[in-house]
Amino acid sequence: MIREAVLSQNGWYADLSTVVFATVFGWDFRAMNNSVNRRLWRVLLCLLLACPAAAEAFQGAPAAADPRVGKRVLVIRHGAPLRTPDATVSSAWLGEVFTVSLVNGEWLWIQEKGGWLWQQETVLYDGAIEELTARVTESPTAENHHLRGVALLAHKQYRKAITDFNESLRKAPKNSGALNNRGKAHYLLGSHPAAIADFTQALAIEPTNVLYLNNRALAYIETAQFSLALADLQSALKLVPDFAEALNNRGIVHQRLQKTNEAVADFTAALKLNPKYVDALGNRAFAYRRSGQYENALADLEQAVQISPLTYEATNDLAWLLSTCPDQRYRQPERALQLAKAACEMTQYQQWNTLDTLAAALAESGQFAEASKWAATAAEKAPEKERARLQGHLEQIVAGKQIRE
């Protein structure tokens, strides 16, 4: 599903934005009602999390030797539970991707969720398309076409994904999940009216599905239909008040409507539910920057980078603030340039947003010739709606002026 829209220094990002029990260390999860077993399991689990060598001792082989450790898996069952001996701690979306931290038999430890995921409800991310293609070849059912579409979606092969969703819907027209996922593919291709149509059809089948409401709201945001977006998000939050993504996205609507205080309140509420919600931190930082609260913005971006150092958005936004802040107390040219280069490396110097930030950082460091080159490249790569603004940045740099937010 489309989970959230994300604000950055150069505008809005959309990130996608679907039990059988097995034995673990000799005990079945179903047996954990026994208090002795439960206490022993908790001790074992603590040992495993604290020391991988404990897993080695139990499994008879080094944990790192298992080829699944460190690999990404794609969830192929919506609502797949992530469990501890005491409870279901979370559930996964169809198409959600996780990295495996530890394994035991058919159970995969997902560190970011703090729970065990059953392997049979996943496929390896790298081989997902091939494995699901084999299933389609053997049995071309609506479900298998849908699952392969989900894998293609995860691999950013959006047009091929739509072809599979079309076939799935031809065989099962009332599959709201396939409609939702086709809407997501249209959204990511920039076909927002088509996305709205698919999400609306999905909601006609499941009118209280908060994920579909959230997704349609994102498409409404992209088409500047803010009142409709707000209505969908309010409906979702009425159904699920602790829906952090909907709170984040309502904050985005408020920000677009220039209601900064309401936006900050929504982002803060989302962060109360999930303190490591990097997108909400980035969005709140954007709102703080727009209102001149640079110290608060800096604190949020520093925290976002610390939580997610390998994703470019927070790194890029921090570099932008340190390069362009109107208040010289917060400008740090040397660090800004280091961060800007890191963000460009994460995106293979292909993302217009990071290239624009690199140009601003170089200009702040007095390297105007180099800055001009990257500013020109950023303007060329930018989408149509951003080109005029980036062309303005280029003209300032050519004139020997630093960029100021």
pLDDT tens figures, 346-386: 999 999 999 999 999 999 999 999 999 999 999 999 999 99
pLDDT score recorded for residue 141: 97
pTM of the model: 0.81
When pLDDT is cut at 50, 70 and 90, the band that residue 405 belongs to is confident
What 3 state SS string does the chain have? CCCEEEEECCEEEEECCCCCCCEECCEEHHHHHCHHHHHHHHHHHHHHHHCHHHHHHHHCCCHHHCCCCCCEEEECCCCEEEECCCCEEEEECCCCEEECCEEECCEEEECCCCEEEEHHHEEECCCHHHHHHHHHHHCCCHHHHHHHHHHHHHCCCHHHHHHHHHHHHHHCCCCHHHHHHHHHHHHHCCCHHHHHHHHHHHHHHCCCCHHHHHHHHHHHHHCCCHHHHHHHHHHHHHHCCCCHHHHHHHHHHHHHCCCHHHHHHHHHHHHHHCCCCHHHHHHHHHHHHHCCCHHHHHHHHHHHHHHCCCCHHHHHHHHHHHHHCCCHHHCCHHHHHHHHHHHHHHCCCCCHHHHHHHHHHHHHCCCHHHHHHHHHHHHHHCCHHHHHHHHHHHHHHHCCCCCCC
For the segment 170-193, the average pLDDT, to the nearest whole number, is: 97
Euclidean distance between CA atoms 22 and 396, whole angstroms: 63
pLDDT score recorded for residue 257: 97
Euclidean distance between CA atoms 157 and 161, whole angstroms: 6
pLDDT score recorded for residue 193: 98
Helix (H) or strand (E) holding 89: strand 88-92
pLDDT tens figures, 5-23: 443 343 333 333 332 222 2
pLDDT surpassing 50 at residue 317: yes
Task: Give the up-direction half-sphere exposure of residue 177: CA atoms within 13 A in the CB hemisphere.
Answer: 18
Q: How many residues appear in the chain?
A: 405
In angstroms, what is the C-alpha Rg of the chain?
23
Euclidean distance between CA atoms 153 and 91, whole angstroms: 20
pLDDT tens figures, 239-261: 999 999 999 999 999 999 999 99
**Cα angle at 132 between 126 and 136, to 5 degrees?**
160
Cβ atoms of residues 220 and 232 within 8 Å: yes
Residue 368 lies in a domain: yes
Q: How far is CA 174 from CA 142, 205, 206, 211, 292, in A?
A: 11, 7, 10, 17, 49
Mean pLDDT of the residues in the chain = 87
pLDDT tens figures, 63-110: 457 899 999 999 999 899 999 988 999 899 899 999 999 999 999 999
Residue 110 lies in a domain: yes
Comparison of pLDDT for 195 and 35, the residue scoring more: 195
pLDDT score recorded for residue 61: 43
pLDDT surpassing 90 at residue 267: yes
Residue 263 lies in a domain: no
pLDDT tens figures, 284-301: 999 999 999 999 999 999
Q: Which domain holds residue 101?
A: 23-124
Cβ atoms of residues 9 and 343 within 8 Å: no
Domain termination site, one of 89, 124, 159: 124
Residue 75 lies in a domain: yes
Residue 242 lies in a domain: no
Distance from the Cα of residue 368 to its chain's centroid: 35
pLDDT score recorded for residue 6: 40
Q: How many domains does the chain have?
A: 2
Q: What residues contact 148, with CB distance under 8 A and at least 6 apart?
A: 129, 132, 133, 135, 136, 164
pLDDT surpassing 50 at residue 1: no
Name the nearest CA neighbour of 7 among 395, 345, 284, 199: 284
Strands 27-28 and 23-24: antiparallel
Domain termination site, one of 102, 124, 146: 124
* CB contact burial 191-209 (16+ within 10 A = b; e otherwise): bbebbbbbbebbbeebeeb
For the segment 17-42, the average pLDDT, to the nearest whole number, is: 34
pLDDT tens figures, 188-221: 999 999 999 999 999 999 999 999 999 999 999 9
Residue 288 lies in a domain: no
Residue 351 belongs to domain with CATH number: 1.25.40
Comparison of pLDDT for 405 and 264, the residue scoring more: 264
pLDDT score recorded for residue 112: 83
Tokens of residue 395, six digits: 């003209």
Residue 276 lies in a domain: no
pLDDT score recorded for residue 66: 87
Residue 215 lies in a domain: no
Domain termination site, one of 124, 158, 174: 124
Tokens of residue 318, six digits: 């921090």
Comparison of pLDDT for 48 and 373, the residue scoring more: 373
